[in-house]
Amino acid sequence: MKRFNFLCIMAIIAVSCFAVSQVSRAGEAEDLIGDPEKTIFFIFATGGIQGSFGTMETCVFCHGNGGKGTAEGRKMNVPDFTDAGWQSSRTDEQMIAHLESNDKGCTKCRGRISEAAIKKLVQIVRNFGTGS
């Protein structure tokens, strides 16, 4: 009986520690995810494209829900997709090539998501530049 009580107490402590650690990360999660109602980018960025990516491989992890970049993304110098100068400096074909074959930075999409989904991602990135 003493052993059972000890195990119960340890389980309660473990669950409490986990809960506290998750609460302290709430602000970080908000920075990464933002408001899912803001843009369709959230759906794509969270692995909604055929469930192909892990958390740290999603667009939103570095680029954020609004396309301006998260704290993590800014460490890696991700572009601000809302910047008209950046938008005008890239063609759709360049973005598609980057998404399909990138070996550093963005997750390589070729073979993981469809060509149509890659084109949709480019449309989403373009929409950040329109202010919508």
Quick one: average pLDDT of 14-23? 53
Type of residue found at 79 = P
The contacts of residue 58 (CB under 8 Å, 6+ apart) are 45, 46, 47, 107
Model confidence pLDDT, tens digit, residues 64-120: 878 888 898 889 888 999 999 999 999 999 998 888 886 666 766 767 777 877 888
**pTM listed for this prediction:** 0.58
Quick one: average pLDDT of 115-130? 84
pLDDT given for residue 36 in this prediction: 43
